[in-house]
Amino acid sequence: MNSLNLKNLYKSRKNQKWLNGLKWLCCFGLVSTPLFYSLKINAQLVPDTTLGTENSIVIPQGVRDFIEEGARYGSNLFHSFAEFNVKEGQSVYFNNPNGVDNIFTRVTGDNPSNILGSLGVDGTANLFLLNPNGIVFGANAQLDVRGSFIGSTADSIKFADGSEFNATNPQNQPLLTINVPIGLQFGSNPESIINQSTALSPPNLPTFPPILPISTNVGLAVQPGQTLALIGGDLLLNGGNLTANTGQILLGSVASPGLVRFSPTPDGLTLNYDNIPKFGNIELSNGAIINTTGLGGGKVEIRGENVSLNGGRIYALTLGNIDGKGIDINAQTFRAEGGTQISTLTLGNGAGGAVNIRATDSVELKGIGVDRYKEFVARYTASGLITPFDPQILLITGTAGAGVAGDITIDTGQLLIDNGSALGTPTLGAGNGGAIILGARDLDIASSAVNSGTIAGSTGTGGSITIEAERLRVRDGAGLVSITRTEAASGNINIKASESVEVLRTPDGNPIPTFIGTTAVGINGRAGDINIDTKRLIISEGGGISLSSGSVVGDQPLNTTAGLGGNLTLRATESVTVEGSSGVLANGSRTASFISADAYSASPGGSMQIFTPVLTLRNGGLISTASLGRGDAGSITINGDRVEVIGNGSQDQFNSQIQISVGIASGVINPNAIANGGSLNLNVGQLILRNGGTLNLQALGTGQAGNINVVADAIALDNQSSIDGRTASGAGGNINLQAQNILLRRGSQISTDAGNTTGGNITINTNTLVAVPKENSDITANAQQGSGGRISITASGIFGTQFRDRLTPFNDITATSELGLEFNGTVQIDIRAVDPNQGLVELPSTFTDSSNQIVAGCPADKGNSFTVTGRGGIPDNPEQYLRGRAVWTDRRNLSASYPENSPTPYTPHPTPHTQLIEAQDWIVDENGTVTLTAAPSGEKLLSSGMRVNSCQSNENS
């Protein structure tokens, strides 16, 4: 054994004593080099005696050894060895008698198997190699089998009748069986399998065009359509390759006792891990390759607890008419970095296979660096072309032929796509692109790209992107993009994030902003829609959401026949915030944080609908639709409780605004644009514009600027803010405002001014229109070289502003023209009459029930009398009007809703009282004080001598 293999023997704890003893002998010079070499040779293939008279026999033939005999039962042939190794340069073949389909080989000794040369079967049987102590495949190891190969460090192979072919307890075996194997039984702490093989392809394996990243160093390989399976403890592919063209490669790492079941299928074997409670580690490093490319991309299945690819690559490309089987990775954590690439691209008529990654805890996909990523994005943005096997691309399905591309599905707890990584399902041919489906609790895309769509020259449609998460973050120059550069449509982007969506930070030097977007660049293509459903949407520091059609060079549309722009539907149950601006981009410019839909072609741009209780734009935040060519700009519809647009910060060059424009888009100006603007529709509780915040219609070409329609409870403009429908040469925009109250402060404006055309119209319907005096807040529909527009205001009250025939430093309402009075527009102000009874509440005629407030013990209608003398007196009758200096204060809440002209019924709520007892008599003490008593005390005489009668006297008294 060479030093490499000695290093790997440490893996088995059972070998430690043997190794320690060997080291001791070497130290004392008791083992010479020739003797050590002899030990290595003799230890290569050592059959044991557990099969009795059916023991295996090794027949040496120089460098080619044959293994014969063994125990045959039906189509199964069993071999048992104490040591099983293949030295470098040696070939070991199992004899394959007629009728034998499966050859089972176990190693019952205490050492791992080192396969350094060629291991094969002289026939078509499947070969199983079972060594619980570990298996190591060296750099020059080869497989020469026409069937499938299964290498495992399980304890035993189980069969359908319950029998086992056991490598750890070979002496207590039942009779061997003719039954088919059903699985691999693992014990505690299964040992590792290591593959370092980079052996060259044998002559009987297919070769591939140089354009494909398929190495001729196939490593361990089986024939096309067959299965290559490694199932053990930890699996390490340290620069080693595995190949099964149009077949399947199955990797499984088991870390606990249990049964891995398998069953034959037309495609090979299917593995079932339901009885495995704990899994181990699988690592592909140093350029290790797993390859099932062929006429139909084969299947790759990886199952472990921690699966990592550090520069490893997995290819399952479809080159012919057979549909690809795809790649399935199932783990607790999955990590890919260092130039890793995973692909199921189809270049033929067969469908490409899907890539499915499921990790219960986390998935990390890391590229080869942000600088390389910026170069990749710049190339792709400039040319529209993509090289499918660019080292920047980590995960790609896609189609370059007529076959449909496979989908990419990632399902995990935390998903991080970082450091210049790229995922894509592009359409480069006639086939349709695949979908990208990402599901995670937390999904973070940083300085990386997730891209679906069509490439120039292709004819297939692009795939969709679907994201389901609690929190989605797209940041630091990342892009989540669906694009079409052909006549076909790109896919939609659908995002559901129960907590939040954040699009953050465009760093200095980035070629494009951080954004989520769909684009149609090709002729007659259609950009996909974007649908976002979340609690909170935050767009800041130059991030954005973009829907566009066409492109520009300089100040001119590049493709005037490009297709339709997509539409945006945004639902945020709590809030939407758009704020701030980017760093300095690679071209020296900066960009505001944005939600935009731009048309650079003859086709209409997309529209957007936003539903949220609170929408806030500040420090340069922008929501806009625009047209730079002949296609009309889309509309913007916003529904919510509160919309607040707060202007620029002290260090910011952008004003916050909601805008529809013609002839200007994303900083590019085209004064020859002939498109019309869309409508800006707001249905909100409060609309607040502060510190220069604006609602803006802008037309630099000959088209109509569009309309602003606002229905609100209250509209407030403060400190140079505006609702603005101005145009340079096209028809002025129209502004329609309907609100309970409208407030203008500190130089704010409502304007539809025009340059060389007629001013737009302003219609205001409100209860109160208030402009704080002497603050120069104006309502204007003026024109420079055209007729003034029309202003119509209907209100219950207008305070602080008035119609004037010219602008003044005060608050003005004007519709003038610089061409003269005859070109002035019209101003119509209608002050509604106020109904003084509106809102009054009719009071009840009876406020209290007085019947139980006093005692009527002495009826007044019986001729009796009651006289009180002394201090005090008789209180007022509660059923008569009050006299005196009582002052009434109106404390009614007139905002309450009451039926008109209907008296409010009074419902008494009696307060419990102590029962009043009628006085029956009184007594006079020696000081003359009179005290009423409840019981009569007999006849008394007053000092006057008058007789006093009791209240109990009869009616004739």
| Domain containing residue 130: CATH number | 2.160.20.10
824 shares its domain with 953: no
Same domain, 144 and 59: yes
Q: Are 724 and 694 in contact (CB under 8 A)?
A: yes
Q: pTM value?
A: 0.81
pLDDT tens-digit readout, 477-527: 999 999 887 777 788 999 999 999 999 999 888 888 999 999 887 667 788
pLDDT band at 142 (very low <50, low <70, confident <90, very high): very high
Looking at residue 581, its pLDDT comes to 87
Which pLDDT does position 69 carry in this prediction? 93
The four Cα atoms 67, 71, 77, 79 give a dihedral, to 10 degrees, of -50
Element (H, E) at 7: helix 3-9
Residue 930, pLDDT > 80, answer: no
Residues 190 and 117 in one domain: yes
CA atoms of 476 and 503, how far apart (whole Å): 9
Confidence (pLDDT) at 847: 42
Phi, psi torsion values for 562, nearest 5 degrees: -65, 165
HEC states along 838-899?
CCCCCCCCCCCCCCCCCCCCCCHHHCCCCCCCCCCCCCCCCCCCCCCCCCCCCCCCCCCCCC
**Torsion (CA) 245, 248, 249, 255 in degrees, nearest 10:** 180
- Statement to judge: residues 22 and 118 lie in one domain: no
Mean pLDDT across the chain: 82
Q: Could you tell me if 201 and 264 lie in one domain?
A: yes
Residue 462: which pLDDT band, with cuts at 50, 70 and 90?
Answer: confident
DSSP 115: E
Are 723 and 766 in a shared domain? yes
**Is residue 345 assigned to a domain?**
no
Same domain, 32 and 60: no
Task: Report if residue 141 sits inside a domain.
Answer: yes
Structural domain includes residue 825: yes
What residues contact 567, with CB distance under 8 A and at least 6 apart?
Answer: 529, 530, 547, 597, 606, 607, 608, 609, 634
Question: Both 18 and 55 in a single domain?
Answer: no
Co-location of 32 and 104 in the same domain: no
**pLDDT value at position 954?**
43
Say if residue 267 is in the same domain as residue 126.
yes
Residue 649 lies in a domain: no
Residue type, 757: T
The mean pLDDT value for 135-162 works out to 95
Which residue do the tokens 């099983």 mark?
A: 84
Does 146 fall in a domain?
A: yes
Number of domains in the chain: 4
pLDDT-based confidence at residue 241 (cuts at 50, 70, 90): very high
Residue 700 above 60 pLDDT? yes
3-class DSSP state of 901:
coil
Q: Is residue 628 domain-resident?
A: no
Does residue 941 fall inside a structural domain? yes
Cβ atoms of 632 and 599 within 8 Å: the answer is yes
Residue 399 included in any domain = no
pLDDT at 818: 83
Last residue of a domain, one of 811, 831, 851: 831
Q: Which residue range forms the structural domain that includes residue 802?
A: 704-831
Of 712-716, 837-841, 947-951, the range with the highest mean pLDDT is 712-716
Overall average pLDDT of the 180-186 stretch? 92
Q: Which residue has the tokens 């009651």?
A: 866
530, 516 Cβ separation under 8 angstroms: yes
Which residues are paired to 94 by β-bridges?
67, 121
User: Which residue, 328, 353, 385, sits at the end of a domain?
Assistant: 328
Domain shared by 29 and 114, yes or no: no
Please report, to the nearest 10 degrees, the dihedral formed by the alpha carbons of residues 12, 14, 18, 24 taken in order. 80
> How many C-alpha atoms does 391 have within 13 Å on its Cβ side?
11
The verdict on 18 and 143 lying in the same domain is no
> Which of 781, 796, 831 is where one domain is finished?
831
DSSP 146: S
